[in-house]
Amino acid sequence: MTMNINNNIKPTRWYEDNMRELEPIVEGLLYDTESMLVAGASGAGKSLFTYALCKAVSSYEGEFLGQPCATGKTVLYLDGEMHINSIGRRVKTLGGNNNIGYYSKPNSNPDLDLTLEEHRDAIIDAVIAGGYDIVVLDSVRTLFNMADENSAASWQPLNQLVPRLRDLGAVVIVVHHANKGAITGGTVMFAGSTNAVTTVDRDITINKAGEFSFTVNAGSKQGRSEHGFGSWVDCTSYTVDAENQCLLAENSIDAQLKELRKFAVMLSKMKQGDSYNLKKGMQKFNAMFGLKVGNNVSGKLMWPKVEYLFEGDNEFGVSDLESFTEWFKKESPLPLNDVF
């Protein structure tokens, strides 16, 4: 068959006249027919966040992290990692409904390999047959059997599948691992080639702010809706509310300051010889703020990594290294002069 594109060639004004408003999936976070990369370190809660988002918009709650969201959306969730028991616990914690179709690679036969064109075609067929509004790929590493994330060629199957799904009118959420130890100032950098964000419209990162709290950080890609990210995105952290089967939003700066106070208390125990808990606390603090310190922690080492928590006028009167050091010492129940 001879290729003929004449009927698809339009004057530029046609595109302006046919622009349409993209309806929000979650106001200020994700919009209709967009694709979004959700990155996070191992254990940071990226899959938890993604599932909770899907559960919220597939139900009739009308709210996600305190923001207005779509309702009654149908979701195809492709999971390349989790065991049936882990999935069951997540559904028990966050709830579920019949609008979510869930595929688990570890619990399925034959095995799904999205590097194969035939398997990508099968996903397209499933989306068409099910009329799914949202497709989740969790995660790139497992669904695409990605052995070398630094190779641009490894990302080609994903970069071919995402536009095809969007052309069907679907929202696409891609879940990806972050580099180990790549957390800096609350931001997590994704692993592998920059091809990871080639075809997505938005990117966000999920970071663990505390033992039971997490933060959301807007990335560099702002979407096709002309709305960008809402100001709430970088200001929000959340905890899991198992009683109400949802994520409970809170101010992210407050949550991280709370953890910083806990660290001050933990550090004071160093004077009591509590070396085991000191080591565990130091590991958690290093992971949270990207600070590679041992027992010789000091205000001089910490301040550049936590300065963003005290930007502008703040109730603590912290504005520089000296005032931060004094504030940190006051947060400890024991004098820190010998160790800080």
**267 or 141: whose pLDDT is higher?**
141
Give the angle 230-233-234 at the CA atoms, nearest 5°: 120
CB 73 within 8 A of CB 25: yes
C-alpha 169/C-alpha 257 separation (Å) is 41
Q: For residue range 98-126, what is the model confidence (pLDDT) as tens digits?
A: 999 999 999 898 889 999 999 999 999 99
The mean pLDDT value of the chain amounts to: 86
**Class of 22-244 per CATH?**
alpha beta
- Average pLDDT value for residue range 4-26: 93
Q: For residue range 201-260, what is the model confidence (pLDDT) as tens digits?
A: 999 999 887 778 898 999 989 998 888 999 999 888 899 999 999 999 988 888 788 888
| Rounded alpha-carbon distances, angstroms, from residue 282 to 119, 259, 288, 296 | 45, 12, 10, 11
**211 or 161: whose pLDDT is higher?**
161
Closest residue by Cα to residue 162 from 23, 76, 22, 35: 35
Least confident span in 26-40, 53-67, 271-285, 320-334: 271-285
- Whether residue 174 is predicted with pLDDT greater than 70 in this model: the reply is yes
Percent of the chain surpassing pLDDT 70: 84
pLDDT for res 87 = 96
Domain residue extents for the chain = 22-244, 255-330
